Amino acid sequence: MRTELKSIALSLLAAGLLSACATPPGKGNYDSGKVYKITILHSNDHHGRFWPNSDGEYGLAAQKTVVDKVRAEVKAEGGYMLLLSGGDINTGVPESDLQNAEPDFRGMDRIGYDAMAVGNHEFDKPVPVLMQQRKWINFPMLSANIYQDGKRMFDPYAMFNLGGVKVAVMGLTTDDTAKMVNPAQIKGIEFKSPIAEAAKLVPELRQQADIVIAATHMGHYADGNHGVNAPGDVEMARAVKGLDLIVGGHSQNPVCMKAENVRDDAYVPGAPCAPDRQNGAWIVQAHEWGKYVGRADFEFRNGKLKLAKYQLIPVNLKKTVKTADGKTEKVPYTELIPEDNKLRSFLKAYQDKGQAELGVKVGELSAKLEGDRSVVRGQPTNLGVFVGEAMMARTQADFAVINSGGIRDSLPAGVVSYKDVLKVFPFGSTLAYVDMSGAEALDYLKAAARMTPGAGAFAQFAGVKLRIVGGELQQAEVGGKAIAPAKRYRVAINSFMASGGDGYPKMMEHPGYVNTGFVDAEVLKDYVAKHSPIRAERYAPAGAVARE
């Protein structure tokens, strides 16, 4: 345990950040004077991680052990518990993606989730798949701000009676969803402002419930600095009075505060964690992938809610340490959690089925091609170049532009499997190209250059040499020559971008637009196979895109 974090958490306690929060009485039938112990467990941004990784970290079977243990503790103390998810169950691991996240939803159902927010990635596949996923679970998907043909597509909230204390759980989804998923798959669906919807709904819920919780998929941006992203939990809490707790997701970070409005982005598993608080509302988020189960222990008495304790419980997270012989090994941050045998057996059938389809060797790499989220969304990488060249080769394009949010993982050194390829491209977008004039090509590159580092829209390029100053394109070359306005050029992009995804210019109506129908993962797989063994150094960005 890091001493400075412990003292920070204690100082927050001393400052009254864990003090009672007065809430107007609702219509519950609780006993006057009685202290009700209410525990909220939470996770978010699961992204297909139903099975533990190669180091034995996370996975739903171990998560069930954690939840069952807490549930038993709470029951023994006469308390009550809810288990909530901040959404994004879909997309990220091939074994899950190929099976439409069935193991994940069915696994969550067996763990006993009470409700989940609808995440933007719930729309990665066609709506009929989402409707099937709803049938696999016995807990509600919640979102108050998603409308289909003018009517709410999901229940806006769920009501729970915890021994006479009424708890309302409202769901909200980022309004960035419309630009983050394939527009063709959300026709007739509108993502209204979650803050505006909450402002209308929260006063109603306060009349019905003693405690109001928002399960959201909006993101936590410290001090409300959301940049190019839609406003998140902090902004909502400041704008909407009356929320007791916000169980969040989307930004995929542990919300542990060093001080008021200052998040600890170097949080270490097992250290104390003080949640954010804005306008009377606690804000929590448990990083991603089931790495943690968040636990908030509350005490409710006579209409007042007090946070007694908060922690992030690591689910078999490990760190790399050096051994006496100079080698390295993985050791757990905290005590290892055994997997629930019954749930592991249930999930293994899905894992085996997925593995059988994914273990096929595609090719070989001399070194890693970098696609990690923290890198690819902020700077040019060799994987960005590699992917771009694969797209150019298939379409005979002059250059390629790729939104970095569409690249979800790296390609490892050594043997590359089909599974590795699908981890890079899990969304099933198709390859497209546009034949355009040089003037149009410059306009498109200018739009791509403006995409902010850190966002999924941030562009990776191939086949161009660019100089970008303050987000504005100053120079552009294709094939070693300045772009000629009257010359014709072909740009390779994906169907998501062509539809206006991530805020890129819509290209589908352009007379030079062609959707090849080739799935991006298949294009990448074929390129890897054709060029193996691949020398990774050939794809180094080498200053082709200079940002000043």
Q: Would you please indicate which residues are annotated as catalytic (active-site) residues?
A: 45, 47, 88, 120-121, 124, 217, 250, 252, 373, 377, 408
Count of C-beta atoms within a 10 Å radius of residue 86? 34
The number of residues in the chain equals 548
Instruction: Answer for the pair 120, 176: CB distance below 8 angstroms, yes or no.
Output: yes
d(CA 153, CA 133): 14
**d(Cα 531, Cα 364) in Å, to the nearest integer?**
9
SS3 325: coil
H or E stretch including 464? strand 464-469
Q: How far is CA 143 from CA 174, 214, 240, 249, in A?
A: 10, 10, 17, 13
> What is the radius of gyration, based on Cα positions, of the chain?
24
Nearest to 496 by CA among 250, 191, 189, 180: 180
Pick the closest to residue 385 from 181, 533, 534, 496 (CA basis): 534
Round to the nearest angstrom and report the end-to-end CA distance of the chain.
Answer: 40
Contact 210, 162 (CB under 8 A): no
- What distance in Å separates the CA atoms of residue 441 and residue 481, rounded to the nearest whole number? 14
C-alpha 29/C-alpha 45 separation (Å) is 35
Contact 26, 209 (CB under 8 A): yes
CA distances from 177 to 101, 181, 190, 394 (A): 19, 6, 9, 30
Q: Which residues contact 511 (CB under 8 A, 6 or more apart)?
A: none
Q: In what order do the strands lie in the sheet with 21-22?
A: 21-22, 304-314, 292-301, 36-43, 80-85, 115-117, 141-142
> Residue 301, SS3?
strand
Taking a C-beta distance cutoff of 8 angstroms, is the pair 214, 245 a contact? yes
CA geometry: angle at 180 spanning 176 and 183, to 5°?
Answer: 105
Q: Which of 391, 49, 24 is nearest to 241 (CA)?
A: 24
Q: How far apart are CA 383 and CA 386, in angstroms?
A: 5
Residue 232 per-residue DSSP state: -
